[in-house]
């Protein structure tokens, strides 16, 4: 039996899985400000119900230390969670292998294997939520690069042309244009309450360029978008679609789909790493 954890800035998920790597008996909690290891062990113990674990997979917000399997200094988690050595601590306690991976990569792998990219070779996934991240999967394997890819920080509107500041210290990144907080900052209303056609056309345009760039770089069989902002899919889709048609010249347009798995997509992807 395998254990899986998804660490988010506001919520935690834990589940177990058998040989099919599909998460079951999930446990959900609010991310507490203190005692990260205590609460994670508590959740794992609740889902494993006394059974031993053959491996634990953990989805974490980036940036993180892949080699050590540790959190570093992600902007969205409480201070007590920073630099927690997850692999070392949980591996010692449960006496099993622990793998840690970026949550956007986990979501990409989950969607590629079990969701909207199932059965396809090359899958690009964008998560559009509090932050923006991307994951690339080729034939069931994540493309991780030398350290980490940062698809949410591809620059579409540089500072010298007036692009808005980004949380990463740069400007005009995809995340600075279409994440939930960026939409709220740019248009003065939270994304879920935004009902301005011109604003959504703008969001769709930037997402369309991000999709176009993904196609240029990876020639994927599908581009999948998920995350909270995609609850407004119908509002930005016409502009996204039109942008891809206008911008893409040399390549055929692949299907562009909304993510199919629910809240547990990071768990699906994490479990596939074991």
| Residue 137: CB minimum distance to Zn ion, A | 23
Nearest distance, CB of residue 152 and Zn ion, angstroms: 7
Cβ at position 138, least distance to Zn ion in Å: 25
Please tell me whether residue 174 binds Zn ion under the rule CB under 5 A: no
Position 170 contacts Zn ion (CB under 5 A): yes
Among 7, 98, 173, 214, binds Zn ion (CB under 5 A): 173
Pick 182 or 266: Cβ nearer Zn ion: 182
27 strand-pairing partners: 14
Q: Which residue, 104 or 123, is less far from Zn ion as judged by CB?
A: 104
Q: In what order do the strands lie in the sheet with 97-102?
A: 24-30, 11-17, 2-7, 55-60, 97-102
Site for Zn ion contains 168 (CB under 5 A) = yes
12: its two tokens? 């935690």
Structure tokens at 14: 């834990």
- The residues pairing with 59 across neighbouring beta strands, listed in sequence order, are 6, 101
DSSP state of 79: G
Contact between 132 and Zn ion (CB under 5 A)? no
Q: Which is nearer to Zn ion, 182 or 243 (CB)?
A: 182
Contacts of 134 (CB under 8 A, 6+ apart): 104, 108, 124, 125, 126, 127, 149, 150, 151, 152, 214
CB 105 within 8 A of CB 57: no
The reply on whether position 91 binds Zn ion by CB under 5 A is: no
153 contacts Zn ion (rule: CB under 5 A): yes
Which residues here bind Zn ion, judged by CB under 5 A? 153, 166, 168, 170, 173
């Amino acid at each position: 039996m395998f254990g899986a954890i998804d660490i988010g800035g506001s919520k935690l998920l834990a589940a177990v899985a058998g040989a099919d790597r599909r998460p079951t008996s999930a446990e959900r909690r609010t991310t507490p400000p203190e005692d990260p290891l205590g609460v994670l062990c508590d959740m794992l113990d609740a889902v494993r119900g006394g059974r031993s674990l053959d491996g634990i997979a953990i989805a974490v917000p980036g940036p993180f230390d892949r080699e050590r399997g540790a959190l570093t200094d992600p902007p969205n988690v409480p201070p007590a969670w920073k630099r927690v050595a997850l692999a070392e601590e949980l591996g010692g306690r449960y006496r099993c292998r622990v793998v840690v991976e970026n949550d956007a990569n986990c979501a990409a792998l989950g969607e590629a294997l079990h969701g909207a990219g199932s059965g396809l070779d090359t899958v690009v996934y964008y998560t559009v939520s509090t932050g923006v991240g991307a994951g690339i999967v080729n034939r069931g394997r994540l493309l991780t690069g030398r350290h980490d890819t940062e698809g949410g920080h591809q620059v579409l509107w540089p500072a010298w042309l007036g692009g808005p500041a980004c949380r990463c210290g740069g400007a005009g990144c995809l995340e600075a244009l279409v994440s939930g907080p960026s939409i709220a900052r740019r248009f003065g209303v939270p994304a879920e309450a935004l009902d301005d056609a011109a604003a959504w056309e703008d969001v769709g345009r930037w997402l369309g360029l991000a999709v176009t760039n993904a196609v240029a770089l990876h020639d994927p069989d599908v581009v999948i978008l998920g995350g909270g902002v995609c609850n407004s899919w119908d509002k930005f889709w016409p502009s996204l679609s039109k942008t891809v048609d206008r911008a893409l010249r040399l390549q055929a347009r692949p299907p562009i789909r909304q993510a199919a798995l629910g809240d547990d997509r990071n768990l699906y992807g994490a479990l596939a790493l074991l």
